[in-house]
Every structure is written in C-alpha cells, then in structure tokens.
Amino acid sequence: MNEAAHKPVAASAARNPGSDAIELLKSDHRAVEKLFDAFAKTRDDDLEAKGTLAQRTCEELTVHSIIEEEILYPAAHKALGKHDAIDVNEAFVEHYLVKTLIEKFDSLKPGDKGFDATFKVMSELVRHHIEEEESTLFPELRQRGIDLVALGDKLAARKAELMKKLEQAGSKLVGDRSLSFGRPA
Ligand SMILES: [Fe+2]
Ligand SMILES: [Fe+2]
C-alpha cells in the first residue's frame, strides 16, 4: 500500500504564511504529481491503493480547478492583455477535458478495463496543463505586478472552505455540477 494513499486530503489545504497565489498553486501541483507518481509505482494487484489514490487525485484536482476558475483565471483575464489572455482560455478548456476524465471514475472501479488507462491519460493531460501554467501563465501574472499575496489569501480561504465541504460530503463534491469546475469561459 502506498503511503500517499492514506495521507488525509485536508493536509494540503494549509498555506505557508507570506506565500503568494503562485506558490500556493505550485504546491498543489507538486501534491498532485506525487499522487501520479505513487499511482504509477502501485503494484498491479493493489486495487485498494489504486482506488484510494484515484479518489484523492480527483478530489485534489477538483478543488484546485475550482479555486483557479473562480479566483485565479478571472483575475488573470483582467490583468493580462488580449494576447496573453488566450492562455487563460486554453486553461479553461484543459480543465474541461480533465473534468470529463474525472467523471469517468464515477463508474469505473479499480481492476475495471480502462481504469488504469483513464488515470494515465488524466495524469498526462494534467502534467501538460501544469507545465503550461508554470512556464507561461504564472510568469505572465508575475510580470503584471498584481497583488499575488492578496490573491493567495483568497485562494487559500476558498480552498479551506471547499476542503471542509469535501470532508463533510465524502467525495460527492467531485461530481457536483453546480460548481463552476470545468466550464469553459
Ligand atoms: Fe489549471
Ligand atoms: Fe493549476
């Protein structure tokens, strides 16, 4: 059994004092990459670990995507010029694709045909998305001189709220269509 499978999801909700929006989002990225790596190292027959890791990954991705879509991307849209705002639109579309893969886990169980493949494709898509955010969107935001610490506070507060909701609802939040996650701009 992987150690990462048993770490409570809420553990990553905290933000280091003084850190900004980009540091918070990058630390979310590192957390989800750890889950991808842990899944890749899981023994083929360890279905329990695979199930737990997939659920935690979907939860982390859902919460992360919601805070980006509700807070970061609108702020980025406002701050960036017409040309750079294209990167925000692409990010929304990539979130939408990830969301469709997350929804597949509603009906897939570990050991089912397609479970591992869906997780792998999801991880590749997310790694690509992370790469683009960190190499393009985040540096663009830093250059604009917006208040990233204030933005970080908003992201952290919303994340804490969503984590609480997630804990109360079990994993039901992940498929909650009333949330903005996955809606292209
Ligand atoms: Fe994103
Ligand atoms: Fe992100």
Q: What is the pLDDT along the chain (185 residues), one digit of tens a residue?
A: 455 555 444 444 455 555 899 999 999 999 999 999 999 999 999 999 999 999 999 999 999 999 999 999 999 999 988 777 888 999 999 999 999 999 999 999 999 999 999 999 999 999 999 999 999 999 999 998 899 999 999 999 999 999 999 888 775 555 554 554 444 43
Q: What is the dihedral of CA 85, 88, 92, 97, to 10 degrees?
A: 110
d(CA 61, CA 152): 18
The tokens describing 7, both together, are: 């770490």
Model pLDDT, residue 184: 41
Q: What is the dihedral of CA 176, 180, 181, 185, to 10 degrees?
A: 150
Cα 154 to middle of ligand 1, angstroms: 16
3-state secondary structure of 61: helix
Residues near ion ligand 1 (Cβ under 5 Å): 68
Tell me whether residue 135 is exposed, middle or buried, using C-beta atoms within 10 angstroms of its C-beta: 0 to 12, 13 to 18, 19 or more: exposed
Model pLDDT, residue 145: 84
**Nearest alpha carbon to residue 155 among 52, 75, 41:** 75
What pTM was estimated for this model as a whole? Answer: 0.84
- Only one residue has tokens 């750079």, namely 84
The sign of the dihedral angle between the CA atoms of 60, 65, 67, 72 is positive
3-state secondary structure of 75: helix
Cα Dmax for the chain:
50
129 near 182, Cβ under 8 Å?
no
Please give the radius of gyration of the chain, using alpha carbons only, rounded to the nearest integer. Answer: 16
Q: For the packed helices 47-67 and 148-169, what is the interaxial angle rounded to 10 degrees?
A: 140
Model pLDDT, residue 69: 97
Cα 88 to middle of ligand 1, angstroms: 9
Model pLDDT, residue 8: 46
Backbone dihedral angles phi then psi of residue 45, each to the nearest 5 degrees: -95, 5
Cα 51 to middle of ligand 2, angstroms: 23
Number of the ligand closest to the Cα of 32? 2
Q: What are the residues whose beta carbons fall under 8 Å from the beta carbon of 3, sequence distance 6 or more? A: 38
Cα 45 to middle of ligand 1, angstroms: 32
| Amino acid, single-letter form, for residue 54 | A
Cα 114 to middle of ligand 2, angstroms: 25
